[in-house]
Structure 1
Amino acid sequence: MSIQKPGRYSIYLRPISYFIDLGLINILAYLFYFKGFSPIIFFVVISSAWVILSIYSRFYEVYRYTREVTIITLIGRQLFMFTLLIFAFSGWYSQFDFLPRTILEYVLVVFLLITISKFTIYYLLQKYRSALGGNFRNTIILGKNKQTLALEKFFTQNPEYGYIHKKTFNVKDRESFDLESCFRLMNEERIDEIYCSISELSNNQILRVIDYADNNLKILKFLPDNKDIYSKKLRYEYYDYIPILSLRNIPIEEPVNKFLKRAFDILFASFVIVFILSWLTPIIAILIKLESKGPVFFKQSRNGFNYTEFDCYKFRSMTPNDDAHLFQATRGDNRVTKVGKFIRKTSIDELPQFFNVLFGDMSVVGPRPHMVSHTNIYAKKIDKFMVRHFVKPGITGLAQISGFRGEVETDKDIIGRVRYDIFYIENWSVLLDLKIIVKTFISAVKGDEKAY
């Protein structure tokens, strides 16, 4: 199996939209409408409320296939709630003496400019995709029928949505249809999204496509042209008027959950860095330097979210060696120093990874990232191993508190780890994260037998 880095939607579009809208909201209030009030109070309260309101209303959930009428609906709903918010703010801070007429003028002007901004970005992106071929996704369709031909037509006749359709496979005979040739083409053409007709393929073929998509980080979606599929709990989306089903539901991808998890990561990592690492790092650094020559920190390339590589930081626990990036520490490993044994046993060596969390490469809780060399090996031999890369890796995870931390001695270890990681990805909750953190702390205090 050939592992390829998949295409990515721009991760900057949503933050840029937030920045523009919050800028308009606060600049207009300060310069033109609400004079003689504390701009700091207004900025903190209204900006925080706007972000929370937007997450709840899905105001920034605008995708390449979102229709203009849907955007107008989102703007109208946001306008109504924001108006209530400003009136509530003026009532709570009555000392600012905001007049109702001024509030209404302010809200209407803000939303006029936000509407112009939102549609400007929307149409500029469409122009960018159709004229310059940027921000695109390579697609392929399995099965040829009325539904799939309508989808193919949507892809080919609407270049502004940024889909480059490579091929539609006609499945005339299920038994003789060669899926392997499809998979080879998907690798060669660097396909990002696979669209599969439920009625055209057998159950066994669908399972093979699911396995391929999971193991190669491809987005898999289904066309609901089989009545049986409507009874499943799947996610619906619409491309124009064509219903599309997404198979794998990842709770962390929901905007509210994504915001909560990232906010928790930043707060928790900041707490650890300020109140623990600030005084512990000099002590560990002195101990490491006294025992052996070499750097205090150890940097290693690992695979993270969407299979991208990042530098993972740890306190150095081994004598400098050329094999550190290739082989894990084993029981009784003579590369591990005396100080290293202690900080590995107590998991102190992992603490610098809270900087990785702050940088956005990692999360406090998630699937543990592997060395690049190990990832390449496991991806080829362990089914669904690549599913772990649909979310950010973590300092600790469900697999680690369930007996699958440390050295991978047999395939059974990595299979168990993947099983727990996928369960975590598909069943994430804030409470589950807190449970994992508490159990990790208890394990660090007691000392895990696999921490060596």
Structure 2
Amino acid sequence: MEKKQEHLADHPSLNAFVAGARQFRQQRQPKHSRWLERLHLRLDQGMAAVLLLLFSPVFLVVALLIWRKDGAPILFGHYRIGQHGKLFRCLKFRSMYLDSDAMLRDLLEKDANARAEWERDHKLLNDPRITPIGDFLRRTSLDELPQLFNVLRGEMSLVGPRPITLAELPRYGQVRWHYLSVRPGMTGLWQVSGRNDTTYEERVELDRVFVEKHSLRMRLSILVHTLRVVLLGSGAR
């Protein structure tokens, strides 16, 4: 992606979003907490490096399974909105067939119910684009392990609002200022509060609560609860 496309501020209609996010942050975040944000970043990056080493055998096995089933590429990077409107490629293990875009267009053209579900949730309960290995990766959340690289690069946090697409930002309403003021996370209140069993509106509200009330204690609590949710597969699909 060209440099001029890498920041929402370069899109004339979105200048207000970025400026609003910065103003929101300045109003709500006292200066003495800025160093806490930098500390959180360094702690996240250190933990991400350790987790990448620990999970390296899992990375290798998953990569081989994907390659044997549907070939390359192994990873899928979809552009999401980061802190202050920066666009970044959010990495995942590829869980869909290579022609998934064409499959989705064809399905939405022919199936009115699927089209309504997609417009409401940006997800499909029974998504034909997902490969068998991809279904397993999603149910176990292993598909999101490559986001540790996003954390290492400072694009994401271990804990925060889930990264959203440009098309989703208007659905956040006034909460968009909350979302744009922080780095999106690999996990957050949404994951430990029902995940896909919640409505989109509930997800937005959970992101607002996290930004307004988050603390180191909350972040650690979410990380602990995430382990339980992943092991139980709660709300994953």
Q: TM-score if structure 1 supplies the norm length? A: 0.43
Give the total of aligned pairs: 213
**Structure with greater helix share of residues:** 2
Structure 2 counterpart of 1:271 = 50
Output one character per residue of 1:200-257: Cα deviation in whole Å (capped at 9) or x when no partner: xxxxxxxxxxxxx899436169xxxxxxxxxxxxxxxxxxxxxxxx6x4237981331
Match of 2:171 in 1: 378
Q: Which residue, 125, 129, 134 being the options, matches 1:340?
A: 134
Select 2:157's aligned residue among 354, 363, 367.
Answer: 363
Structure 1: state its 5+ residue gaps: 8-186, 192-212, 222-245
What SS class does the counterpart of residue 301 from structure 1 fall into? Answer: strand
Q: TM-score, normalised by structure 2?
A: 0.78
Partners of 1:300 and 1:312 within 8 A in 2: yes
Structure 1 residues 220, 437: closer, same or farther in 2, change over 3 A?
A: closer
Match of 2:138, SS state, is helix
Aligned position for 1:301: 79
- In our comparison, the structure showing a higher alpha carbon Rg is 1
Q: How much has 1:374 moved relative to structure 2?
A: 2.5
Provide the rounded CA distance (Å) in 1 between the counterparts of 2:161 and 2:236: 17
- Residue 434 (structure 1) aligned with residue 227 (structure 2): no
How far did 1:407 drift?
Answer: 8.1
Q: CA deviation at 1:429?
A: 1.4
Contact kept? 1:398, 1:421, Cα under 8 Å: yes
Contact kept, 8 Å, 2:22 with 2:84, in 1: the verdict is no
Paired with 1:427 and 1:252, the residues of 2 have a C-alpha distance of: 17
**Residue of structure 2 equivalent to 1:390:** 181
Could you tell me whether the CA contact under 8 Å between 1:299 and 1:311 is conserved in 2?
yes
- Equivalent AA in structure 2 for residue 270 of structure 1: A
Matched residue type, 2:176: F
What CA deviation, in whole Å up to 9, does each residue of 1:39-62 have, x standing for no partner? xxxxxxxxxxxxxxxxxxxxxxxx
Secondary structure class of the residue paired with 2:78: strand
Q: Percent identity?
A: 31
Determine the C-alpha separation between the residues in 2 that align with 1:325 and 1:250.
42
The residue type paired with residue 317 of structure 1 is S
In 2, Cα distance between equivalents of 1:429 and 1:439: 15
- For 2:31 and 2:162, locate their aligned partners in 1 and report how far apart those are by CA, in whole Å: 16
The separation in 2 between residues aligned to 1:426 and 1:298, in whole angstroms, is: 32
Aligned CA distance change for structure 1 residues 431 and 316 (closer, same or farther; 3 Å): same
Number of the residue aligned with 1:255: 34
8 A contact 2:144–2:186 mirrored in 1: yes
SS class of match (1:395): strand
Q: Relative contact order (alpha carbons < 8 A, sep ≥ 6): 1 or 2 greater?
A: 2
Aligned-residue Cα RMSD (Å) equals 3.0
Quick one: distance in 2 between partners of 1:216 and 1:304? 14
Render the CA deviation track for 1:306-345: whole Å, top value 9, x for unaligned: 1111011000111122269996442221111111111101
Q: Does 1:319 align with 2:97?
A: yes
